[in-house]
Amino acid sequence: MKTKRIVWRAAKTAAIFLISVLVLSLLVFVVSRLAPGDPLVAFYGERAEKLKPAERAAAEARLGLDQPILRQYALWLKGALRGEFGISYKYKMDVLEVIRARLPFTLRLGGIGFLLTFFLALGLGVLCARHEDKGLDRALCKIGTVTSCIPEFWMSLMLILIFAVSLRVLPSSGAYDVGKADDLGSRITHLILPLTVVVLGHLWYYAYMVRNKMLEEMRMDYVLLAKSKGLGRKKILYRHCLRNVLPSYLSIMAISVPHVLGGTYIVESVFSYPGLGTLSYESARYKDYNLLMVLCILSGALVIACNLLAQALSERIDPRMRAQEAIDTWEADTDG
């Protein structure tokens, strides 16, 4: 009985996932083609302007751009199901190849950034809750408020200005020095500044969440009971309160994965870091449809998958709760 239910639920989740991705792909397809701009420019560069009408029509026919939108979508879907997503108009390579070359960079930046955010936010939140309304807590909260008001791109610029232009200690762009692609040290030094921005951009939001949630827990009745039993403050804090906060923190962080990964978008373009962020920016700018489609679907699938994961997590932790409710209660605490 139980296995049957699990299988049924997995099937349902998979179906939701597939349908959402399909709808998303249709939306992106139609929207990107409605947008003004000439995809031939991406393919032919400057020459596209000088094409004769007949050549132009031939070129469009070759790229399948002369069909009605829905027919184009059907053709695209047919290819996509076979794993063929077409070629990138700009790079003249298979879309998946282009993405494969860039993906590790974004995963490194976003992945390390996410892990750092995850642990630092937890630590900071607990630290603030421990020193509620004392100097440390107030100072950290003030710093957090100020940092949250600094746009990510400006923070990146300031860091470049300080560390790369004035002090000349860290590189300002790229992922490694020219010709040193295999040098680990060079890669790490190139990662420091972007990583700082990614982490600082998200850290405080989650740290505040943890802090507020911890404070709420510390006012619960069971804490009073534990105190009257004579348990130490530290023990109550870490053994009882933190344990109650952790599960919902996990599902919140699951939902935040796309936000942290997507947040690398701006940072990457300031630091000219060769990740997916700069790639999607380019593809939107130059109407590189095939590339844009796959990138949008990738990020959309990530969002959907993370939401489903969070839902599964919080259902597992507390069967009464759906993920969205978990988020609602967190946001009711923090957003007002």
Partner 1 sequence: MDDFTLVGARPQAPLPAQKKVPWYRGKPVAAYLVLGLIVLGCLLWSAFSKTDAGYMDLSACNLAPSRSHLFGTDTMGRDIFAMIWSGGRLSLIIGVCSTLLSTLIAVFFGSLSGCAGERLGGLLTRVNEIFISIPNLLLIVLLQAILGQASVWSLSIVIGLTSWMSIAKVVRTEVRVLRGSEYVQAARCMGGSFLHILRVHLAPNFLPSILFMVIMNVRGAMLAESTLSFLGLGLPLEVVSWGSMLSLSEKALLTGSWWMIVIPGVFLVATLLSLTEIGNAIRRSLGHSQKIL
Chain centroid offset of residue 105 CA: 13
Cβ proximity to partner 1, 69 vs 146, nearer residue: 146
Distance separating alpha carbons of residues 88 and 101, to the nearest angstrom: 13
Q: Residue 15 is encoded by which pair of tokens?
A: 């179906």
- Please provide the size of the chain in residues: 336
Q: Rounded to an integer, what distance in angstroms lies between the CA atom of residue 295 and that of residue 303?
A: 12
Distance CA 130, CA 233 (A): 9
Angstrom CA distances, 170 to 161, 184, 309, stand at 10, 15, 38
Q: How far apart are CA 64 and CA 29, in angstroms?
A: 14
Q: 231 or 302: whose CB is closer to partner 1?
A: 302
Span near partner 1 by CB under 8 A; candidates 27-35, 44-52, 224-232, 236-244: 27-35
Report, in Å, the least distance between residue 5 CB and partner 1.
24
Which residue do the tokens 């699990």 mark? 6
Task: Name which position in 13, 148, 244, 329 contacts partner 1 (CB under 8 A).
Answer: 148
On whether the CB atoms of residues 180 and 91 are closer than 8 A, the answer is no
Binder to partner 1 among 37, 79, 104, 174 (CB under 8 A)? Answer: 37
Question: Which of these ranges, 86-94, 107-115, 231-239, 257-265, lies near partner 1 under the rule CB under 8 A?
Answer: 257-265
The strand pairing partners of 94, in sequence order, are 87
329 is a site residue for partner 1 (CB under 8 A)? no
Residue 120: CB minimum distance to partner 1, A: 15
Asked if 261 contacts 106 with a C-beta cutoff of 8 angstroms, the reply is yes
Of the candidate spans 53-61, 65-73, 107-115, 255-263, the one that interacts with partner 1 by CB under 8 A turns out to be 255-263
335 makes contact with partner 1 (CB under 8 A) = yes
Q: Is there binding between residue 126 and partner 1 (CB under 8 A)?
A: no
- CB-based contact 122:238 (threshold 8 Å): no
* 154 near partner 1, rule: CB under 8 A: yes
Both tokens assigned to 135? 């100097």
DSSP state of 87: B
The residue range among 108-116, 148-156, 181-189, 239-247 that interacts with partner 1, by the rule CB under 8 A, is 148-156
Are 172 and 165 spatial neighbours (Cβ–Cβ below 8 Å)?
A: yes
Does 90 participate in binding partner 1 (rule CB under 8 A)?
Answer: no
Quick check: 289 binds partner 1 (CB under 8 A)? Answer: no
- CB of 35: closest distance to partner 1 in angstroms? 4
Among residues 76, 105, 152, 198, which is the contact residue for partner 1, using CB under 8 A? 152
Please, which of residues 60-89 interact with partner 1 by CB under 8 A?
none
93 or 120: whose CB is closer to partner 1?
120
Among the listed residues 65, 121, 210, 296, the single contact to partner 1 using CB under 8 A:
296
- Of these, 265, 273, 286, 289, which contacts partner 1 (CB under 8 A)? 265
Question: Cβ contacts of residue 274 below 8 Å, gap of 6+?
Answer: 102, 105, 174, 175, 268
